[in-house]
């Protein structure tokens, strides 16, 4: 084989490995979301992200109770498909509005951006659900209701 053919073969192999890694990471993401909805059948769930560029990319998952107490914060950080979610300790029970001042966010722009986006998503879903109930109509219309799975309200993107 000529050099350009070997280069083409290597390119195809690299692409296939990257596709397999992406599939594995998406499977992990779905498993984490499934675990959250099974463990806490009520409350709020927000997901935020910060694109990496030259820095690490970050995905934040914030789970809160109906009365805005943080249940769990999960972060996935990295530049590759090998990144996994890690739970942040010491934030359980913290009021949702105080999460942005938590120590784990100090000097990390990506974490702060992702967590702030997740919290904003929760607040938007809460206000949307509250607004629908305040209209006196009862339950929100199906197209206006937050996405729910087993009672856990997921903020729509």
Contact 27, 35 (CB under 8 A): no
Residue boundaries of the structural domains of the chain:
3-154
Q: How many residues does the chain have?
A: 157
Does pLDDT of 144 surpass 70? no
Q: How confident is the model at residue 101 (pLDDT cuts 50, 70, 90)?
A: confident
List % helix, strand, coil for the chain (3-state, nearest 5): 45, 20, 30
Residues forming beta bridges with residue 63, ordered by sequence position = 45, 72
For 7-30, how does the pLDDT look when each residue is reduced to its tens digit (9 = 90+)?
999 999 999 999 998 899 899 999
What whole-number distance in Å separates Cα of residue 51 and Cα of residue 10?
A: 28
What whole-number distance in Å separates Cα of residue 100 and Cα of residue 93?
A: 14
Does pLDDT of 88 surpass 60? yes
For 40-85, how does the pLDDT look when each residue is reduced to its tens digit (9 = 90+)?
888 899 999 998 777 788 999 999 999 989 999 999 988 777 788 9
Tokens matching residue 153: 């309200």
Sheet holding 147-149, edge to edge: 85-87, 70-78, 57-64, 44-50, 152-154, 147-149
Tokens matching residue 8: 């083409």
């Amino acid at each position: 084989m000529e050099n350009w053919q070997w280069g083409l073969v290597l390119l195809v192999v690299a692409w296939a490995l990257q596709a397999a890694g992406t599939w594995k990471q998406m499977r992990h993401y779905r498993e984490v979301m499934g675990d959250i909805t099974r463990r806490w059948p009520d409350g709020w769930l927000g997901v935020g992200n910060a694109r990496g560029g030259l820095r690490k990319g970050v995905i934040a998952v914030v789970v809160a109770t109906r009365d805005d107490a943080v249940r769990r914060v999960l972060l996935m950080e990295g530049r590759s498909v090998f990144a996994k979610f890690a739970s942040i300790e010491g934030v359980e029970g913290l009021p949702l509005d105080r999460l942005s001042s938590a120590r784990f966010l100090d000097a990390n722009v990506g974490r702060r951006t992702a967590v702030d986006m997740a919290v904003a998503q929760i607040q938007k879903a809460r206000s949307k659900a509250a607004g629908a109930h305040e209209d006196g109509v009862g339950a929100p219309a199906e197209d206006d209701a937050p996405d729910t799975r087993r009672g856990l309200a997921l903020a729509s993107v």
